[in-house]
């Protein structure tokens, strides 16, 4: 029986390997047909530059073409504002900035992450478009009015020969800045009376940007996500020089097979591909396999990649540590990740306070009598255990509780007699500053404050084990 | 020096290619304005030659080129490439730069009203205030600019009219607005570029200057306040109060013109401000019929007679009128008309279509228009959903299920994960079991894309997996996205369709 199943498994493996090869051949064909026909075309720009651009913008030629036709020839008017959206790492800023720098169009690229105030943004835009002299005219805390005035002045000195472009990256942060900044940027062409176009780049759809009194509607342009074939094509480009490109692209194919259902971020995938490639090559170096033994290589790398999902993809283990492990040939889970370091050393009473807070947060108040009173009256078992799934507190999250309840449970779970000294109360407030508890509602600090417990079940289990307290017996959800 | 001599002397310099495309239209507006403001004449209809030979201004290179290319092009036909780029240039200026039309279309009575009002201020020295109200893109600024253009061209306006342009977007408080007014009026306390004095001094000075004037002697001032509703949010509405007060009392003649898109703008005004306002309102509520809309479509695309290559422009215009009779174009226009009647959305549609015109296809086709309409009406959220990974899509489906079961109650990560686990245990074969942190990373990505949103705006300090969320997607949007999703596993599809988990 076991021999039979082993044979079946072997056969299956061979089938999958063959299927993988077939897929590769097919994808190669598709890509060739996809990449060959297109080239950027737009009048008003030199042909040879467009040709080199076509080569540098892999899989984004259609989008670049649309952008170029929207921009028009350099000296023609262009639409006042264009909003480009698409997922992370779909080449939004790459395509746009490559076009602008390569065709040497006057442009200013600002990122809203850097510009914590609007003034910084104005300064960057002015210095990129008109030089530092114009930017120095801005007063210290500059308003939009100053920006527009100085822009107009500079415009009179350098009238537009070509369309000027302002590229605003991470435009979703514009919504958190001054309320009039976004509407003003959208109609900047009208305000400064110059041939200027503002590009806004964002991951978030335009509907979430629109101010409630409306604004000038920009043109919307979508950058679609890369398909699996395109990802394969792009990732296969940075192949290792000492191996053949086919070998590398078969590696990428295996990598995508594992990661594609979780992650489609090109940057992340590229990072993972670079990290795990040496593990993939290991059988070759040792002489156990040849480049054509796709199946052997696949069997070697696949469990490794699955482990990578849980560790290095989540940044549990840093990339350096991950590489170190591969060199040292350690068992990959031997190293404890970041989340394993959750053990916190606390004083004895703090531990019990935390346990009491956990019990108060996750048990309904009506069950306290049953759990913590020695001689509680009779309680109907059916009544006590009445619950359905939605009310499970480990799904809903912690409930707030008053200080009195915390102290009552605390005294009941601590065996020895504890005096309510200042140190007990100060321990409660220090638990709040450690963010193990959170205070709910800040209306009164002294008179019956309410708290919530903010630790996970695993954490509290570990704590209660150290003081040999069986917390599961006291939790309503686990009865 | 006669024009022809002048031209020949400059001919050598004009050989570069960029300049030959320059036309009269590209004559930099800023430059023209500067010429007028330094010399101080108010007549706008001056031909280039007049400027050149009246004031002996050194002619910049491209200016002379533009004139020359115009002359030359009359004589012979342009190549297709040049024609196309010329078409692009003309139409782009129409669509992108909001060039003023000769007469506002469909707004004749409003235009007459506004023009009469402004003329009374400019000619008779009568103070006025008026609000132009209309939805965005309905042509408020265009109406006002047309009226000002005609007014300033007319012979009756003997005195110079001063204009002060303010925008609620730029002048966010009264202090900045006041500075801008003094700067635009070029008052005496302005030295160079800097304005001296405090806010109070500035205000007193400005009011004094306005008070000293009277009907007969002082020059009328037009105050143009764009985004008027934003001025009403200023503290105490000091600026509005003072401007309207001047317009009510017999001081220097001013006209206060406010442009706004809010119908309830009068409710925003304080009582004392409201009582000083003349309550003249001009409403621009679009009453465009579909027939007019189609005519507008045709006239927006039609080339003018002054197009250099007459043969090409005839062909183009013929193509446009053929396009108007096309059934599919009619459908597209009907769709756009039903969603939005304003010209701005029409312009953006046309720009998208016209930008597809190139040397290889020099006429506008119905396909271009169809593509443009598809681009402008695409559902952004389904586009975003298309790019999600399978895991993220599964989370969205479980959120949809939670919404169905608990009737739109907010959920947290634990519930979603619970729902997802149930699916994995019971049904799934295609998706292997992911660890909880991996699922949480996918959940956070959805949060970043704002497909889900925290209920209390993220102010709550609860643990992240217990934060209450709402799904920002529709039931139908999820199902449609699932249909379009490339290579969606069948069990996931079935799970999405089945009503209860």
Digit-coded pLDDT (tens) for B112-171: 999 999 988 888 888 899 999 999 888 899 999 999 988 888 877 766 788 999 999 999
List strand residue ranges (DSSP E) for A409-469, in order: 437-440, 450-453
Q: For residue B116, what pLDDT is reported?
A: 92
pLDDT: which is higher, B420 or B430:
B420
Residue B230, min C-alpha distance to chain A (Å): 10
**pLDDT at residue B69 in the model:** 45
Q: What phi and psi, each to the nearest 5 degrees, are found at residue A451?
A: -130, 165
**A359 beta partners:** none
Nearest partner of B421 among A20, A395, A115, A420, judged by Cα = A395
b/e per residue A97-136 (b: at least 16 CB within 10 A): bbbbeebebbbbbbbbeebeebbebbbbbbbbbbeeebbe
CB B86 within 8 A of CB B307: yes
Among A9-23, B4-18, B373-387, the range of highest mean pLDDT = B373-387
Is residue A153 predicted with pLDDT exceeding 60? Answer: yes
Q: What is the DSSP letter of A333?
A: T
Of B216 and A381, the structure prediction assigns the larger pLDDT to B216
Q: Which residues in B152-192 belong to E strands, given as ranges?
A: 162-167, 190-191
Q: Residue B411: beta bridge partners?
A: B469
DSSP E strands in A119-207: the ranges are 164-169, 196-202
The arithmetic mean of pLDDT across residues A196-224, rounded, is 93
pLDDT of A279 reads 87
Which helix (H) or strand (E) segment holds residue B131: the answer is: strand B128-133
- At residue B304, does pLDDT exceed 80? yes
B36–chain A Cβ distance below 8 A for any pair? no
Whether residue B386 and residue A224 make contact (CB cut-off 8 A), yes or no, is yes
User: Cβ of B494: how many Cβ atoms within 10 Å?
Assistant: 10
Structure confidence by residue, pLDDT tens digits, A213-239: 889 999 999 999 999 999 999 999 888
CB contact under 8 A, A184 and B261: no
User: How many A×B Cβ pairs under 8 Å?
Assistant: 196
Average pLDDT, chain B: 79
pLDDT at A79: 92
**pLDDT at site A296:** 86
**Separation CA A28–CA A249 (nearest Å):** 10
Please report residues of B whose CB lies closer than 8 A to that of A86. Answer: 383, 387
CA dist B355 and A102 (Å) reads: 21
Q: What are B332-348's pLDDT values in tens digits?
A: 999 998 888 888 888 99
Nearest to B383 among A180, A222, A394 (CB): A222
Name the nearest CA neighbour of B399 among B416, B378, B424.
B416
> Between β-strands A450-453 and A437-440, what pairing exists: parallel, antiparallel or unpaired?
antiparallel
Q: Could you tell me which chain A residue has the CA closest to the CA of B443?
A: A262
pLDDT at A252: 93
pLDDT for res B29: 38
pLDDT at B3 over 50: no
More confident residue, B313 or A14: B313
Chain A residue closest in CA terms to B22 = A75
Please tell me the predicted confidence (pLDDT) of residue B428.
67
Evaluate whether B133 touches B162 at the Cβ level (below 8 Å).
Answer: no
| Residue A243, min C-alpha distance to chain B (Å) | 31
Candidates B170, B409, B413, B467: best to mutate against A (most CBs of A within 10 A) is B170
Q: Please give the Cα distance from A92 to A86 (Å, whole number).
A: 7
- B260: enclosing H helix or E strand: strand B254-260
pLDDT mean over A184-197:
92
Q: What residues of A are in contact with residue B390 (Cβ under 8 Å)? A: 260-262
A-contacting residues of B 175-194, CB under 8 Å? 176, 179-180, 183, 193
Buried residues in A15-54 as b, exposed as e (16+ CB within 10 A): eebeebbebbeebbeebeebeeeeebebbbbeeeebeebb
Contacts of A215 in chain B (CB under 8 A): 136
Taking the CA of residue B475 and the nearest CA in chain A, the distance in Å comes to 18
User: Which residues in chain A have their CB less than 8 angstroms from residue B412's CB?
Assistant: 395-397
pLDDT at B239 over 50: yes
Average pLDDT, chain A: 84
Of residues B141 and B195, more confidence is placed in B141
**pLDDT at res. A401:** 93
What's the rounded Cα separation, in Å, for the pair A478 and A476? 6
State mean pLDDT over A403-428.
90
Q: Can you tell me which residue has the tokens 């220097």?
A: B252
What pLDDT score was predicted for residue A159? Answer: 84
CB distance A220–B96 less than 8 Å?
no
Nearest to B172 among A180, A214, A454 (CB): A180
Nearest residue, CB atoms, B386 vs list A77, A144, A225: A225
For residue A204, the model assigns a pLDDT of 94
Residue B288: predicted pLDDT: 79
- The band of B435, judged by pLDDT with boundaries at 50, 70 and 90, is confident
Chain B partners of A43 at a C-beta cutoff of 8 Å?
81, 84-85, 358-359
> What was the pLDDT predicted at B9?
40
With CB atoms and an 8 Å threshold, state whether B92 touches A394. Answer: no
Answer yes or no: is pLDDT of B299 > 60. Answer: yes
- pLDDT of amino acid B76: 54
* Residue B121 DSSP label: I
At A108-119, the pLDDT tens digits run 999 999 999 999
What would the pLDDT profile of B286-296 be if each residue is shown by its tens digit? 777 888 888 88
Mean pLDDT of A126-143: 89
- Give me the helices (H) in A72-108, please: 92-102
Burial class (CB in 10 A: 0-12, 13-18, 19+), B425: exposed
**Residues B471-488: what's their mean pLDDT?**
90
Extract the tokens encoding B158: 């003997």
pLDDT in tens, B56-104: 333 344 444 444 444 444 445 678 888 888 888 888 988 888 778 878 8
To which residue do tokens 């009026």 refer? B185
The closest CB to that of A395, out of B345, B360, B415, belongs to B415
For an interface test with A, the pick among B97, B263, B470 (most A C-beta atoms closer than 10 Å) comes out as B97
pLDDT at site A7: 60
How many whole angstroms separate alpha carbon A204 and alpha carbon A226?
17
Q: Is the pLDDT of residue B472 over 70?
A: yes
Banded pLDDT at A182 (limits 50, 70, 90)? very high
How many other β-carbons are positioned within 10 Å of the β-carbon of residue B208?
Answer: 10
Q: Please write the tens of the pLDDT for every residue from A395-408.
A: 888 999 999 999 99
- Alpha-carbon distance of B284 to B140, in angstroms, equals 7
CA gap B101, B310 in Å, rounded: 22
pLDDT confidence of B6, banded at 50, 70, 90? very low
- Would you state the pLDDT for residue B20? 35
Q: Which residues of B touch A456 (CB under 8 A)?
A: 463
Q: Is B360 on the interface with A (CB under 8 A)?
A: yes
Q: How confident is the model at residue A415 (pLDDT cuts 50, 70, 90)?
A: confident
Query: Do the chains contact at B358 and A41, CB–CB below 8 Å?
Result: yes
For B32-58, what is the mean pLDDT?
37
B219 neighbors B152 (Cβ within 8 angstroms): no
Nearest CA to B495 out of B390, B414, B389 is that of B390
Q: What is the mean pLDDT of residues A16-39?
A: 50
Q: What is the ipTM metric for this complex?
A: 0.88
A222, B380: Cβ pair inside 8 Å? yes
The pLDDT tens digits of the residues spanning A259-304 come to 998 999 999 999 999 988 988 888 888 888 888 888 888 888 888 8
């Amino acid at each position: 029986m076991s021999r039979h199943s082993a044979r079946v498994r072997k056969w299956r493996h061979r089938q999958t390997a063959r299927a993988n090869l077939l897929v590769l051949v097919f994808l190669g064909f598709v890509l060739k047909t996809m990449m060959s026909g297109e080239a950027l075309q737009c009048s008003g720009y030199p042909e040879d530059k467009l040709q080199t651009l076509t080569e540098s913008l892999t899989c984004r030629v259609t989008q670049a073409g649309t952008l170029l036709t929207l921009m028009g020839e350099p000296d023609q008017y262009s639409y006042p504002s264009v909003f480009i959206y698409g997922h992370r790492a779909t080449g939004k800023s790459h395509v746009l900035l490559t076009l602008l720098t390569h065709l040497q169009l006057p442009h200013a690229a600002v990122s809203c992450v850097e510009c914590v105030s609007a003034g910084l943004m104005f300064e960057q835009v002015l210095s990129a478009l008109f030089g530092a002299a114009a930017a120095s005219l801005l007063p210290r805390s500059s308003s939009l009015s100053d920006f527009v005035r100085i822009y107009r002045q500079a415009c009179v000195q350098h009238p537009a020969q070509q369309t000027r472009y302002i590229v605003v990256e991470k435009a979703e942060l514009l919504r958190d800045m001054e309320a009039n900044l976004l509407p003003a940027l959208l109609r900047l062409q009208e305000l400064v009376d110059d041939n200027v176009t503002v590009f806004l780049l964002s991951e978030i759809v335009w509907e979430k940007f629109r101010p409630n009194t409306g604004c000038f509607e920009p043109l919307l342009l979508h950058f679609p996500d890369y398909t699996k074939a395109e990802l394969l094509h792009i990732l296969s480009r940075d192949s290792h020089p000492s191996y053949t490109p086919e070998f590398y692209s078969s590696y990428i194919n295996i990598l995508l097979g594992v990661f594609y259902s979780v992650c489609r971020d090109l940057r992340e995938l590229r990072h993972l591909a670079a990290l795990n490639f040496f593990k993939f090559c290991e059988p070759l170096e040792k002489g156990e396999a040849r480049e054509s033994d796709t199946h052997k290589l696949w069997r070697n790398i696949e469990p490794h990649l699955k482990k990578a999902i849980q560790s290095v993809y989540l940044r549990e283990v840093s990339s350096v540590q991950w590489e170190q492990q591969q060199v040292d040939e350690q068992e990959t889970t031997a190293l404890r990740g970041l989340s394993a370091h959750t053990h916190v050393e606390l004083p004895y009473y703090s531990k019990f306070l935390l346990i009491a807070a956990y019990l108060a947060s996750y048990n309904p108040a009506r069950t306290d009598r049953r759990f913590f009173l020695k001689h509680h009256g009779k309680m109907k078992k059916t009544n006590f255990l009445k619950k359905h799934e939605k009310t499970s507190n480990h799904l809903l999250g912690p409930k707030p509780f008053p200080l009195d309840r915390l102290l009552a449970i605390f005294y009941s779970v601590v065996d020895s007699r504890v005096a309510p000294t200042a140190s007990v109360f100060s321990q409660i407030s220090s638990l709040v500053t450690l963010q193990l508890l959170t205070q709910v509602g800040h209306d009164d600090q002294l008179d019956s404050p309410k708290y919530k417990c903010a630790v996970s079940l695993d954490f509290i289990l570990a704590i209660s084990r150290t003081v040999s307290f069986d917390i599961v017996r006291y939790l309503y959800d686990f009865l | 020096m006669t024009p022809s001599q002048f031209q020949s002397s400059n001919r050598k310099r004009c050989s570069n290619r960029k300049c030959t495309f320059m036309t009269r239209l590209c004559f930099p507006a800023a430059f023209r304005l500067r010429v007028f403001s330094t010399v101080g004449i108010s007549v706008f209809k001056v031909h280039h030659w007049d400027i050149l030979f009246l004031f002996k201004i050194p002619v910049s290179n491209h200016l002379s080129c533009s004139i020359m290319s115009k002359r030359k092009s009359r004589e012979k036909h342009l190549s297709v490439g040049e024609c196309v780029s010329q078409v692009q240039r003309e139409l782009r200026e129409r669509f992108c730069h909001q060039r003023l039309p000769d007469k506002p279309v469909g707004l004749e009575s409003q235009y007459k009203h506004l023009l009469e009002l402004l003329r009374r201020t400019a000619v008779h020295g009568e103070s006025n205030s008026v609000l132009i109200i209309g939805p965005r893109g309905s042509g408020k600024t265009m109406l006002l600019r047309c009226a000002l253009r005609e007014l300033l061209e007319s012979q009756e306006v003997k005195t110079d009219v001063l204009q002060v342009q303010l925008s609620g977007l730029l002048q966010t408080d009264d202090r900045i607005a006041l500075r801008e007014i003094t700067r635009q009026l070029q008052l005496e306390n302005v030295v160079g570029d800097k304005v001296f004095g405090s806010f109070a001094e500035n205000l007193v000075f400005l009011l004094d200057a306005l008070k000293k004037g009277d009907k007969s002697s002082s020059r009328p001032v037009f105050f143009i306040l764009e985004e008027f509703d934003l001025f009403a949010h200023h503290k105490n509405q000091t600026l509005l109060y003072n401007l309207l007060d001047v317009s009510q009392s017999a001081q220097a003649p001013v006209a206060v013109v406010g442009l706004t898109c809010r119908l309830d703008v009068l409710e925003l005004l304080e009582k004392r401000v409201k009582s000083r306002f003349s309550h003249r309102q001009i409403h621009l509520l679009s009453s465009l019929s579909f027939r007019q809309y189609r005519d507008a479509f045709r006239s927006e695309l039609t080339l003018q007679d002054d197009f250099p290559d007459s043969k090409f422009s005839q062909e183009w215009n013929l193509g446009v009128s053929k396009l108007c009779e096309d059934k599919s174009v009619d459908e597209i226009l009907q769709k756009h008309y039903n969603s939005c009647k304003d010209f701005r959305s029409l312009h953006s549609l046309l720009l998208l279509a016209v930008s597809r015109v190139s040397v290889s296809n020099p006429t506008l086709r119905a396909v271009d228009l169809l593509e443009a309409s598809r681009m402008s009406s695409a559902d952004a959220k389904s586009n975003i959903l298309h790019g999600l990974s399978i895991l993220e899509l599964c989370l969205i489906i479980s959120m949809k299920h939670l919404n169905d079961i608990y009737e739109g109650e907010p959920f947290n990560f634990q519930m979603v994960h619970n729902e997802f686990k149930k699916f994995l245990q019971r049904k799934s074969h295609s998706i292997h079991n992911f660890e909880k942190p991996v699922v949480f990373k996918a959940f956070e990505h959805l949060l970043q894309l704002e497909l889900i949103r925290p209920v209390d705006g993220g102010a709550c300090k609860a643990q992240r997996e217990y934060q209450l969320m709402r799904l920002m997607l529709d039931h139908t949007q999820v199902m449609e996205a699932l249909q379009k999703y490339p290579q969606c596993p069948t069990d996931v599809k079935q799970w999405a369709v089945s009503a209860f988990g």
